[in-house]
Amino acid sequence: MPAGLKIYAIGDIHGRLDLLDELLARIEMDIGLRPAVQPVYVFLGDYIDRGPSSRETIDRLIEHGEKNKCVFLKGNHELIAIKCLSDRSWFDQWMRLGGMETLNSYKIPAQGVRNGKRIVELQSAFHQALPQAHFRFLRDLQASFTLGDFFFAHAGVNPNADLASQKESDLLWIREEFLSSNVDFGKIVVHGHTPVCEVDVSSNRINIDTGAYATGRLTCLVIEGASLAVIST
């Protein structure tokens, strides 16, 4: 990393506001140890679904972004939620991936979603319940971010394409082709998307999705200069 910067990359939150608050407090303590260094927060996406507090998590992230230098990346779950505002065909998939919990957090009862008429009602209710600040947050999420020798994306990268030529679909969804690759991507890829028991460090990538919504462990990768460290709940 460039001198004077310290990256705090945070994995998949999935509506666990309690863990996010705990992790941010631990990061603040770490920043206090070297207050002269500029902290940059990089959130890797999947802020919503599965956990109980998706709406509150977005509120917290927006608030945090107003006071700190932050990069918010898009996860596949945010992509689906935005798609559902205009395309009802995504609703079944969203519900299978934890969207019911997100709708509930916006005070929208989401039972019985498989009925076609019910989907129309849910789409309308989601439109009405989603604050403009939340819509702008979801709309403006980045697909990737590069700094120093590191490339940040939610899911990973296509090993057969240069980093500058990656498709958003791969950055948000790719798994096995990327995870099993030994290709030198030119930078170390920091990602989430595929839950692991422990931070997974390979020669070409680092996975920091420790399955927070199910395990209670939300993880942050700290990068400063040539050093790596981990802060987790």
DSSP string over 42-91: EE-S--SSSSS-HHHHHHHHHHHHHHS-EEEBPPHHHHHHHHHHH-GGGH
* Residue 158 Ramachandran class (φ > 0 left, ψ -120 to 50 alpha, else beta): beta
- What's the pTM value of the predicted model, to 2 decimals? 0.95
Q: What are phi and psi of 224, to 5 degrees?
A: -140, 120
Give the CATH number of domain 5-145+206-232; options: 3.60.21.10, 3.40.640.10, 3.40.50.9100, 3.40.50.10600: 3.60.21.10
Residue spans per domain, the chain:
5-145+206-232
Residues contacting residue 220 through CB under 8 Å, at least 6 positions apart: 8, 9, 10, 11, 23, 26, 27, 208, 230, 231, 232
Residues contacting residue 28 through CB under 8 Å, at least 6 positions apart: none
What tens-digit pLDDT sequence spans the chain (233 residues)?
999 999 999 999 999 999 999 999 999 999 999 888 999 999 999 999 999 999 999 999 999 999 999 999 999 999 999 999 999 999 989 999 999 999 999 999 877 555 555 888 899 999 999 999 999 999 999 999 999 999 999 999 999 999 999 999 999 999 999 999 999 999 999 999 999 999 999 999 999 999 999 999 999 999 999 999 999 99
